[in-house]
Structure 1
């Protein structure tokens, strides 16, 4: 046994190295030692502990104290170790409250196991910053680096590992300061980014420090040059530039940063001048220049902010576990309960259909191995799934394998069951019957011996799976459906063996017909048949998911560079593509990943995304989506995402995750399933003993025995007991919701509607109020020029639009883009001079020798320009219709660029006074289906609101066009105002859905019962929403609500069937209505399995869904 904490550790966590300078336990122990550095490490002597329950109660009491991060109790040594900010007196009091005596040890000792526990606890505090340090060769190096880090203000603790060449630092010191400290010892340090964080800042920092390091290590001085290459667009460009720079004489190292369009070069002083480096890059066809310090620092700071944000560990994390061995809803309920019982698990959702669990947990309090162990402890196998989208899907091949396994078992069982049926029911009534009735030896006939011989391998081989599962469950004091099956078949087989043995010893053959070997065999066969049908039906529920997986291409044609598209591409695995790669899409092939078309023209089938069968024309600068199918043309595409981050991956992830978000009705079913199997066992025992007691007292008439073809009333008790055991089935309860959710989400995804869970389905079916954002939701979100009118007779309207477009091409405002688009590319003949832009006002510039002002009335007033009464009335009339009016003012002459070049003022007014010359009217058009959708929702009794940050006049006009009641319009409101409207409607008792697309909609989307984001919207809106509409069609809002209603109705039907089946089947199997009605055990087993099949088939009916017609006069019926 070793000391729990060495003196150096307790003084500040400085025992980071041992045995050759290597860190003990890596990052895990480092986290513990950081915790020890920041807070007290306390060891208590605890008297009075006698068992594991004692240690558990003490540990629980210590963990409940504020500030305690981890605690471990050792029974053998009678000690407790506590990590955290806690007073010794409080810890002693907490232990004494459990009925034990405690005191503080002045020289704490504990088993090495406690050190391991501390290491585990260390995972609670990952380092705030991790650096990769080059140049360390021994323990002295690590010590010097560590001392330099600890000397910095803000560093609480530091650990340096020689093997991994990493320095892990706890504290709030900046990354730059830490890197400088490491470099002060003559080592090279670079920031290690957290997973998923941007790495550009780290690479920029690495470029700076690497040049500095090389300068320190070499006799000749090195200098660093940064180049800006703005026209570098792809990874191929970056590789070419890097190669040519590395080939320049005197260059020690060169690296290109694609995202920042920067290249840094370390080169010897006096060689490789900036001109030579620029010339080398320009020879490749690019336009490099020396980067300014501001550009380098801006790129570094921006990426470092992203990096530092990524380093902060989230308060909670999510993991998906593959769970094998679950056979019914009771299994899923027990696994879910075991996970939720773990300290640190916030949420756990188990999908019986997917054989998986989705767990939200706090990494500071629990880790994945602890979850896996908890599942193992109740008899199931578990392991974490991969992190990619498709790895989290319900793999179709797994479902297929399960179906084939049950099929093979069923077919194999027939080779035993059919001969047994012949021996039992057919051959006794043929001439062979007398021969089979002859005794093999006293007490047993040839027929019974044959049945026994066939029944035994049937139990072992084909019933073995049920026995193994039941035994594993019983070992952990739990029960499941396999327990019922195993008990039912065992009772039938065991009773038969007992009867035969008694006959042999008594040498009587009068009870020859009292065995029921064939009943046990038929029971297994019928259950196997039901399992095969159930697995086949479950596989169909995932067909939509399977089709999504099949859309992901496996190969890609990678082009070497954007400037070499005509060269032959090479075939690579699609998974290797990254952002910035260029790939070629041949006719009829799938687009590998999201991207932008660089060259080519083709029609692309986007039905997987939009549900629309007509292909969409794609040409240069158009966006394409991974998984869509190219038509007859060839496209060259620049990847804008990795295959795991694209639209298709996002769709697959949402559909996969949906099955783990359960509606409330499923929680009720889970509670029932938790007690279902014990209840079924109790009912079965009551049935058996009830009929046995009746038989003992002579209460079973001969007619009952004749009706069942049994020779003994006790056999009738076995008959009904077995039937009751196997007919009770929690599987249908467990499958009622997930199958319907899976099919509904698959059908929705095929129509471009991504539902993020079963709970979303439930809420969507109850929506009573819908709020639409105006811009981009009810309207197209893209202003378009409706009218251009000149107020000057000498100026044509078309010429006014052309001059305005030339001026606006220097602006990035949406209105500017609309004006430029309306004029057309051919009209843009000149660049504006002396361009200035005032936010909220307008622009001022010189075009073709004339000064031109474009803006609103306030902007014109600032320049002394006021419209006449007639002009003012015209502008007001357009604004009353919801249009935006841009006023134009022109000056006949203006000093040209040459005057400006000589320092003369181009706006000195010498060309004449500015005059209002006309107006350009723009409008954000209503979406074509907006009015019909609003009318449909109002006919269904749904309250429809429109919210907008626009002025009241414009909002009222759009609302009138859309058919929204004037009293349900909220205009001129901020994002907080939209949130307030949502809260007010919820307070009135409405179930609220909010439909939006922008960042300003995110608060309302999050607060609404159902947040719906248009797929063309901002990422933050899509992440916040519960439903993502991939198409810009508002009709999909109606379809979403309708699918939800259909799905919830189907779930209710499934539950009615599942409960009704058990409510009718159990009394029948127990013989309540005997002899008029009964359910033999073999048919009870078949009914048990077929109940699940019926529920799954019921859910599959959702696949026939047809969306409602929203046109006026339609019957508004949904087909399913």
Structure 2
């Protein structure tokens, strides 16, 4: 067995952090039990994550890995130490894997339909139909319901209870009571329809047991599917890197390229990166000039110019010139891998969500059991009638069977998430809904969230004789010959204004600019240094105008005609339509918007002013790790933080936030790390997602209220013998209909 050891920041000497994979947990009370048991070990601190089924444990040198595993096993759950490569094979509870739960659900659904129809529709009943229903129900309440029975048995061994206990007892009571009635009088259903049955004394509740199992397995299946996807963020992150590298090797005194897998690189290897290729690993440029698209990792919309001696990061994209890079960090030491660890640690440290039904059932279950026992004893003592005592106590259990309670969350969640899917909003699970209730601050990434993430021309400034239109036409003609992203943005804008003439005698310098002849005049476009290299020197007035626009947060490109400055073109990352309206809607929802970006402060302030974010709430020049720090800082100040972003650089912050919201136009890793995903690229959908989540949570709370209100009224009535099991079943069905009807109201959201 291998161990993953992570340096523990701020830990005492000789401490380490161990990640455990834990199987068999089903609810918040399971999480609390594991944490308490591990916490009893001297010097051990544990944080258990239910959706990921993991525990991050801070361990002193005196405690071994086996001590941790033995403690978890003694608590009633399975455990093993996670391998470094995040291989958790064998660490899942096989009863809760989506494939096996799907098989259990399919069997339950197929058998429950005829059980329900035969039991509830007299016209479909035939001679001795009760025995057929008994046979059809038996696999449902045993094999299909096994995960509930198993969890209930584990909890019982530790003198505790959860929703699984309620389900197991309710299903078992309904089935055994019905079986007892049938075996006690084998001729109970010898007549078709309802003939021959005295409904005031006897009834069969096989359909109650079967349908309860089917509905609750559906919720458990959806939950298990969500858990299986929870670890995909790290896989998505690791697939972003380059798959191959063109490594330079000396063979017979000549330098040749050898294509190798990127993971085969070692520090010191030199490799070639052509335009359009990803850089295989972190390194230093030793030859060539180019512009790198680093938006995937840093969020910067403007390409970064690199030349010999500059450091480069793996997974960034070479947009123009040929580079030769010497590898400095490989494998787990790269920036990409470090970001993977950030995502993992942020997810493991996320606040635990205790589900409402589980919290209440921890008290509700033992109370119901006590009431059922007291009912049986009192009826037996007061009447001496064993059948009446058993009937009354079982009626208490039947009416307490948590059908409505079990439906309260899944039906509202299914309806809310279904409506969300129609609106392009994906809600990861019920724990997300609780987060939206208390969120008071929303952190918005700039690039790709508020802005489009694509450079576009803002203005063409003519400083001398040439008109702006002529300046754009000439600049577009020469820039069209370049593959640099800024050059392409200028060319696109110029093309929109009209057909471009051809450029001759074209030349360019990576990171500098372009030069060519258009309609008989020489056109030079680029940075100040490029103009000076071609003998063109802007005067002080021109430099002041150029500097002013750059200080305002835009990118500017000089344009010179016949070796004389004619003007410049300004570009910026354009703001999405509707961003300002969306931020105003977020404010109306009670959220304080905060802008977070890797761009410079001038750009950030300009964007903030345009969309209505206070300058005091702008954080610029922030690294991926720094974004996590900003979120943590807001949380430490008492804020409950939502984070919206779309890039790999946002993934760790999305996981750290109390509520992570990914823009669907972004990267897979951002989407996997988030709690909410909006499939469009509009910030308006973010506000709509929060509103839908709050509405769905409200429906769940309403459902739980009515489910428990029904129990609060029905249980005393049943205990006093004023309710027979058939009416108890009908009342339970009515409560379920009420819960479903309340949930279906969510279908009208946003219409």
TM over 0.5: yes
Is 2:678 the partner of 1:1029? yes
Q: Distance in 2 between matches of 1:869 and 1:408?
A: 88
1:780 is paired with a residue of what secondary structure?
A: strand
Aligned mates of 2:544, 2:635 — CA distance in 1: 42
Which among 679, 701, 704 is matched to residue 1055 of structure 1?
A: 704
Selected match of 2:404 from 703, 708, 732: 732
Choose the corresponding residue for 2:205, options 524, 543, 551. 524
Q: Tell me if structure 2 keeps the 8 A contact 1:735–1:1096.
A: yes
SS in 1 for 2:566: strand
1:664 counterpart = 2:345: no
**Change in CA separation of 1:524 and 1:383 when aligned onto 2, cut-off 3 Å:** closer
- 1:409-448 to structure 2, matched below 5 A, reads 409-413=115-119
Distance 1:415 1:1020 in 2: 51
**Equivalence map 1:196-215=2 (5 Å):** none
- Give the length in aligned residue pairs: 561
Matches within 5 A, 1:845-860: 845-848=515-518, 852-857=523-528, 860=531
Report how far residue 367 of structure 1 moved: 7.2
Which of 421, 428, 431 is the matching residue for 1:749?
A: 421
The alpha-carbon deviation at position 1039 of structure 1 amounts to: 0.8
Describe the superposition over 1:803-851 as per-residue Cα deviations: whole angstroms up to 9, x where unpaired.
Answer: 323433454433212111122294262365332122xxx3153435765
In structure 2, the CA distance between the partners of 1:360 and 1:1042, relative to structure 1 (3 Å rule), is: farther
Please state if 1:1104 is matched with 2:748: yes
Q: Which residue number in structure 2 is paired with residue 1082 of structure 1?
A: 726
2-structure distance, mates of 1:459, 1:773: 58
The answer to whether the 8 Å contact 2:451/2:575 transfers is: yes
Match of 1:902 in 2: none
Match of 1:629 in 2: none
CA distance in 2, matches of 1:884, 1:755: 38
For the residue of structure 2 that corresponds to 1:747, the secondary structure is: helix
**Per the alignment, do residues 861 and 1028 of structure 1 end up closer, same or farther by CA in structure 2, a change over 3 Å counting?**
farther
Q: Which residue matches 1:813?
A: 484
CA spacing shift, 1:959–1:1059, aligned 2, 3 Å: same
Q: CA deviation at 1:1068?
A: 1.2
SS of equivalent residue, structure 2 residue 727: helix
C-alpha contact 1:462 1:524 (8 A) present in aligned 2: no
Counterparts of 1:476-495 in structure 2 under 5 Å? 481=167, 483-484=169-170, 486-487=172-173
Question: 1:787 Cα deviation (Å)?
Answer: 3.1
- The Cα shift of 1:731 comes to 3.7
SS at match of 1:827: coil
SS at match of 2:558: strand
Secondary structure of 1:741's partner?
A: helix
- Residue 270 of structure 1 corresponds to none
CA shift for structure 1 position 929: 0.6
Q: Distance in 2 between the 1:805 and 1:519 partners?
A: 90
Q: Which residue in the other structure is 2:431 paired with? A: 759
Query: Using a 3 Å threshold, how does the CA distance of structure 1 residues 1051 and 460 change in structure 2: closer, same or farther?
Result: closer
How far apart are residue 1067 of structure 1 and its match? 0.9
1:523-602 → structure 2 map (5 Å cutoff): 523-524=204-205, 527=208, 531=212
Q: Distance in 2 between matches of 1:817 and 1:784?
A: 9
Which structure has the higher relative contact order (CA within 8 Å, separation 6+)? 2
Structure 1: how far apart are the matches of 2:175 and 2:610?
Answer: 70
Q: Which residue in the other structure is 1:197 paired with? A: none
SS in 1 for 2:574: coil
- The residue number in structure 2 matching 1:699 is none
Which structure 2 residues correspond to residues 127-138 of structure 1 after superposition, within 5 A?
none
The residue that corresponds to 2:377 in the other structure is 689
Aligned mates of 2:447, 2:690 — CA distance in 1: 22
Per the normalisation by structure 1, the TM-score is: 0.43
Change (3 A) 1:1101 1:686: same
Q: Which residue of 2 aligns with 1:637?
A: none
Q: Does 1:834 align with 2:514?
A: no
Change in Cα spacing, 1:801 to 1:398, as seen in structure 2 (3 Å) is farther
Q: Secondary structure at the match of 2:452?
A: coil
Q: 1:809 to 1:992 in 2, by over 3 A?
A: same
- How far apart are the structure 2 equivalents of 1:889 and 1:467? 82
SS of the residue aligned with 2:454? coil
Alignment-derived partner of residue 216 in structure 1: none
Partner of 1:1040: 689
* Partner deviation per Cα, 1:235-277 (whole Å, 9 max, x = no partner): xxxxxxxxxxxxxxxxxxxxxxxxxxxxxxxxxxxxxxxxxxx
Q: Give the C-alpha shift of residue 767 in structure 1.
A: 1.9
Distance (whole Å) between structure 2 residues aligned to residue 364 and residue 880 of structure 1:
50
Matched, 1:938 2:619: no
Equivalent in 424, 445, 455 of residue 783 of structure 1: 455
Q: Structure 1 363/773 Cα, relative in aligned 2: closer, same or farther at 3 Å?
A: closer
Q: Call closer, same or farther: CA 1:527–1:491 in 2, change over 3 Å.
A: closer
Q: CA–CA distance in 1 between the matches of 2:125 and 2:648?
A: 71
Query: Structure 1 residues 359 and 1059 mapped into 2: Cα distance closer, same or farther (>3 Å)?
Result: farther
Q: CA RMSD in A?
A: 5.3
Alignment CA distance shift 1:466-1:822 (3 Å): closer
Q: Specify the alignment match of 1:722 in structure 2.
A: 394
Task: Measure how far apart 1:977 and its partner are.
Answer: 4.5
Secondary structure of the corresponding residue to residue 918 of structure 1: strand
Deviation at 1:1031, TM superposition (A): 1.2
Q: Return the offset for 1:350.
A: 11
1:921 matches 2:591? no
Pair member with larger Rg? 1
Per-residue deviation at 1:989? Answer: 0.9
Per the normalisation by structure 2, the TM-score is: 0.61
Question: Conserved in 1, the CA contact under 8 Å of 2:118 and 2:125?
Answer: no
Structure 1 residues 764 and 816: alpha-carbon distance in aligned structure 2, compared to 1, 3 A threshold: farther
TM superposition shift of 1:1035: 0.2
Q: Secondary structure of 2:638's match? A: coil
Instruction: Give the gaps of 5 or more residues in structure 2.
Output: 4-13, 39-45, 54-76, 158-164, 187-195, 227-346
Q: How far apart, CA to CA, are the structure 1 residues paired with 2:214 and 2:392?
A: 25
CA spacing shift, 1:1079–1:768, aligned 2, 3 Å: same
SS in 2 for 1:1103: helix
CA contact (8 A) 2:480 2:487 kept: yes
Match of 2:473 among 783, 797, 802: 802
Confirm whether residue 981 of structure 1 aligns to residue 651 of structure 2: no
2:609 maps to 1:955 = no
- Equivalent of 1:843, from 486, 492, 513? 513
Post-superposition CA distance 1:218-240 (Å, at most 9, x none): xxxxxxxxxxxxxxxxxxxxxxx
1:771 aligns with 2:415: no
Distance of 1:1088 and 1:690 partners within structure 2: 24
- 5+ residue gaps, structure 1: 1-30, 36-65, 68-313, 324-328, 352-357, 376-381, 386-390, 421-452, 501-514, 546-657, 697-712, 893-913, 1107-1118
Post-superposition offset of 1:763:
1.8
Contact 2:78 2:91 in 1 (8 A): no
Q: Distance in 2 between matches of 1:976 and 1:368?
A: 30
Q: Does the residue aligned with 1:1032 lie in a helix, a strand or coil? A: coil
Does the Cα contact within 8 Å between 2:425 and 2:676 map onto a contact in 1?
yes
